[in-house]
Chains A and B, each alone.
Chain A
């Protein structure tokens, strides 16, 4: 039924505020070339290309993804699902392989927001022009609305958000590709300006440019390459209006329902029954450190009411998974690519190719994606074992 496939190539540019020396086409090329080199393949081996680029307004170019379709003559489609663009694109590439129409897919995502001088205003246009544009609804205030509810309902503190953020920054010091290389303590983070209570500036993600690419090969094309087998992939879309998510029986605003549903399906496919034991690394997409905490129960790491305790356990219990060894989106957030970067980093961990940030003995890693106001969630499970 479901065919077996693996990530056999990873390519990333570095992530920074602006790649002033590179055109958009250059960035696409660089990531794709690195991924193909890693896979020991030529573009001629690729049967389908999936390109992920989120809001065009961030790049200021309509169709920026069209600028570098090299290897002309390949099937080529573009995905735009906001923050999950990178993982949606990877899943779409996987579907081409799974359908048998491609032996190998090349999936690429590009973030060119360094060209935008008013990116926050662009983010603000994601909201409903009829009912919401008159309010300061931004990605930051949306997260703050959730964060304050998490504090009320589950007893999180501002310190918890700061400790999560600090851990991410610390991990990023070992990732040469990351945008932010700063060893910020929880105190530094709490001292940073308050953006929207309870979120402080250093809990928000940077605005980064960069490109990421993956080579996904069907089983018969893996050969003697080093694979990170795709053991489970799932995507779920929720209702748009945050206000619709308070009182429904399926799950409240902070239950991260779409992530929970995706995790259930991906874990079932991957044979994960105990997240705490079965997973070694989590590359977790959260645009804010408070949003990361919201993901823990959804991913099966703890009961919702034990969330604050789990935040502390991460620092003391070494049997638990390592979170964001790359530094996560806190250290680099090239929006269109961020969800693919999580898969790329998870794949590097599984393949033992993560350099200084390598976690020892990784058998299985999970990469998540978040888009919209936690409306879209993806979960991708990668591992050293080929699925049955």
Chain B
């Protein structure tokens, strides 16, 4: 072997296909979005928190949840970021993403915030830092996916 051994690289791709079962709880949550434009939470009978999205068990108490209750459509924006760099496979920037605690919920939900003037990022950030009130806005033809809704400032 000489010092000038050519270093070989082999191209490859890593492509795995999956079928994710969303389960009854998530399916019911999505059906409520699609059929009645309602965002559902589930209450843990132990800690009494209303968990959003509604889910079948509370991981803190390790117990099954009980009642389902609608939350929102208004809520408070907890925190946000403004995405300015493009990433492959994701929507074109600038995009605002935020966590919102809908009225009646004990957990926050992540989604996009639309309708903001993003020509001055600093000014938009200052506005969002004030934890504004927002409302969930649905697309005209909900599909039963989390992207059926987004948030707008009230």
- Rounded to whole angstroms, the CA-CA distance of A141 and B52 in the bound complex is 21
Min Cβ gap B35→A in Å is: 18
Mark out the residues of chain A between 197 and 251 whose CB falls within 8 Å of any chain B CB in the assembled complex.
Answer: 197-199, 201, 239-244, 246-248
Report if B116 contacts A (CB, 8 A): no
- Which residues on B sit within 8 Å (CB–CB) of A45? none
Given that A194-B121, A247-B106 are contacting pairs, would A130 and B81 also be in contact in the complex, using a CB cutoff of 8 Å? no
The answer to whether A145 touches B85, judged by C-beta atoms less than 8 angstroms apart, is: no
The answer to whether B78 touches A149, judged by C-beta atoms less than 8 angstroms apart, is: yes
- Rounded to whole angstroms, the CA-CA distance of A120 and B89 in the bound complex is 10
- Which residues on A sit within 8 Å (CB–CB) of B7? 20-21
The answer to whether B108 touches A246, judged by C-beta atoms less than 8 angstroms apart, is: yes
The answer to whether A130 touches B20, judged by C-beta atoms less than 8 angstroms apart, is: yes
Mark out the residues of chain A between 120 and 147 whose CB falls within 8 Å of any chain B CB in the assembled complex.
Answer: 120-121, 124, 129-132, 134-138, 141, 144-147
By the criterion of a CB under 8 Å from any partner CB, how many residues of chain B are at the interface? Answer: 47
Mark out the residues of chain B between 88 and 122 whose CB falls within 8 Å of any chain A CB in the assembled complex.
Answer: 88-91, 95, 97-99, 101, 106-112, 121
Report if A253 contacts B (CB, 8 A): yes
Min Cβ gap B80→A in Å is: 6
Min Cβ gap A162→B in Å is: 15
Min Cβ gap A60→B in Å is: 5
Report if A68 contacts B (CB, 8 A): no
Min Cβ gap A364→B in Å is: 34
- Rounded to whole angstroms, the CA-CA distance of A3 and B144 in the bound complex is 55
- Rounded to whole angstroms, the CA-CA distance of A135 and B51 in the bound complex is 20
Report if B1 contacts A (CB, 8 A): no
The answer to whether A131 touches B26, judged by C-beta atoms less than 8 angstroms apart, is: yes
Given that A145-B79, A197-B82 are contacting pairs, would A242 and B99 also be in contact in the complex, using a CB cutoff of 8 Å? yes
Min Cβ gap A20→B in Å is: 6
The answer to whether B110 touches A242, judged by C-beta atoms less than 8 angstroms apart, is: yes
Partner of B97, one of A21, A124, A136, A195: A136
- Which residues on B sit within 8 Å (CB–CB) of A198? 81, 125
- Which residues on A sit within 8 Å (CB–CB) of B107? 241, 243-244, 246-247
Partner of B89, one of A121, A151, A241, A253: A121
The answer to whether A148 touches B79, judged by C-beta atoms less than 8 angstroms apart, is: yes
Report if A57 contacts B (CB, 8 A): yes
- Rounded to whole angstroms, the CA-CA distance of A201 and B87 in the bound complex is 13
The answer to whether B83 touches A141, judged by C-beta atoms less than 8 angstroms apart, is: yes
A-B contact pairs, 25 of them (CB 8 A): A120-B87, A120-B88, A121-B88, A121-B89, A124-B89, A130-B20, A131-B26, A134-B147, A135-B97, A135-B111, A136-B83, A138-B87, A145-B79, A148-B128, A151-B129, A193-B85, A195-B85, A196-B85, A197-B81, A197-B125, A244-B59, A244-B107, A246-B78, A248-B106, A253-B99
11 more A-B residue pairs beyond the given contacts A195-B84, A253-B78, with a C-beta to C-beta distance below 8 A: A118-B88, A131-B53, A134-B147, A145-B80, A145-B81, A148-B81, A148-B129, A196-B81, A198-B81, A243-B107, A247-B108
